[in-house]
């Protein structure tokens, strides 16, 4: 089953909470609920009527650095199967797993990340990786048949995904399993146009992260703001997705300073529903 076929089936035939609007599956990255335990995040999604989710490593990785290092090759896979069941029981489709795969990771650590995704029953692993790590990630993505979406930030730091050229470099010569996890807020903050980039690269994008940011100015990072209050063309991105009928989930990633995560995710969700009609 290709990613496109998987997405089509997921969006057209899934049972549970219906949160497809304007033909677009609208979900949430659980990082949005980082202040809550995973059970609380799932309960919040269920109460808000959000039926698609992307699991953040924040909800599974040990906080202690030494423990996290050991965990990266020894995390019990049964725990991930149990996590999947929690989402299933709540009527929420778990679409992807977000897990950072860095240059200093061993091959065993990268491989176990894909085993975690496999145990979760997802075919997409989104990752804040180094550009130079992409070939190793691609090797394991091919081995497991799991799509790996490279996630961008606005840092413009060497060997980090920030620019269209970073993505071009990573995807050049890569297999069909190496993809892009486009964060439109970070992309805008870095000075690029997510609308044209999305239109040009839709076939290689696993997920679109929906957030709003100001552009970086005078060497300072643009701040995260509520949807519709920054420089990110959120409406235009969503309308393009609807018009083109892209089989790409739009995942809310709440990062600005707000009241509380449940209130603010609801605010984001309402904004998206209004735009998509």
At 13 the pLDDT is 42
The string of pLDDT tens digits covering residues 84-97 is: 999 999 999 999 99
Structural domain of 107: 3-14+23-276
At 15 the pLDDT is 60
Is 11 a residue whose pLDDT tops 70? no
Cα 74 to chain centroid, rounded:
24
Q: Which of 27, 75, 71 is nearest to 51 (CA)?
A: 27
Element (H, E) at 146: none
The C-alpha atoms of residue 206 and residue 12 are separated, in whole angstroms, by 17
Q: Which residues pair with 55 in a beta bridge?
A: 97
At 5 the pLDDT is 45
Q: 54 with 98: CB under 8 angstroms? A: yes
| Mean of pLDDT values over 184-206 | 98
| Mean of pLDDT values over 233-241 | 98
The C-alpha atoms of residue 81 and residue 77 are separated, in whole angstroms, by 6
Reduced to 3 states (helix: H, G, I; strand: E, B; else coil), residue 56 is strand
CA gyration radius, the chain: 17
* CATH number, residue 51: 3.20.20.150
Is 14 a residue whose pLDDT tops 80? no
At 276 the pLDDT is 98
Residue 10's pLDDT band, with cuts at 50, 70 and 90, is low
Sequential DSSP letters for 206-254? EEEEE-EEPPPBTTBPPPEE-TTSSSS-HHHHHHHHHHHT----EEE--
| Mean of pLDDT values over 129-155 | 98
Q: How far is CA 225 from CA 29, 209, 211, 230, in A?
A: 17, 14, 8, 6
Q: Which of 9-13, 150-154, 176-180 shows the lowest mean pLDDT across its residues? A: 9-13
At 78 the pLDDT is 98
| Mean of pLDDT values over 222-231 | 98
At 208 the pLDDT is 98
Residue 40's pLDDT band, with cuts at 50, 70 and 90, is very high
The C-alpha atoms of residue 76 and residue 146 are separated, in whole angstroms, by 19
Share of the chain above pLDDT 70, in %: 95
DSSP 125: E
Is 271 a residue whose pLDDT tops 60? yes
Q: How many domains does the chain have?
A: 1
């Amino acid at each position: 089953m290709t990613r496109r076929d998987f997405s089509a089936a997921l969006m057209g035939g899934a049972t549970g909470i219906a949160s497809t609007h304007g033909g677009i599956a609208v979900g949430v990255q659980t990082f949005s609920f980082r202040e809550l335990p995973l059970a609380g995040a799932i309960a919040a999604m269920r109460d808000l009527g959000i039926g698609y989710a992307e699991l953040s490593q924040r909800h599974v990785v040990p906080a202690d650095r030494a423990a996290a290092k050991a965990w990266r090759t020894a995390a019990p896979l049964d725990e991930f199967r149990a996590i999947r069941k929690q989402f299933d029981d709540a009527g929420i489709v778990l679409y992807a797993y977000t897990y950072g795969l860095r240059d200093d990771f061993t091959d065993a650590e990268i491989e176990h990340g894909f085993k975690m995704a496999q145990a979760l029953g997802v075919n997409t692993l989104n990752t804040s990786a180094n550009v130079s790590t992409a070939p190793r990630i691609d090797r394991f993505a091919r081995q497991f048949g799991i799509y790996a979406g490279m996630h961008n930030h606005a840092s413009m730091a060497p060997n980090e995904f920030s620019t269209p050229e970073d993505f071009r470099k990573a995807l050049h010569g890569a297999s069909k399993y190496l993809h892009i996890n486009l964060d439109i807020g970070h992309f805008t903050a870095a000075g690029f146009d997510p609308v044209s980039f999305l239109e040009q690269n839709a076939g290689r994008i696993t997920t679109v992260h929906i957030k709003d940011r100001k552009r970086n100015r005078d060497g300072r990072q643009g701040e995260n703001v509520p949807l519709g209050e920054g420089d990110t063309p959120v409406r235009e991105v969503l309308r393009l997705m609807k018009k083109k009928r892209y089989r790409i989930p739009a995942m809310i990633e709440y990062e600005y300073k707000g009241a509380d995560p449940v209130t603010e995710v609801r605010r984001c969700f309402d904004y998206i529903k209004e735009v998509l009609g």
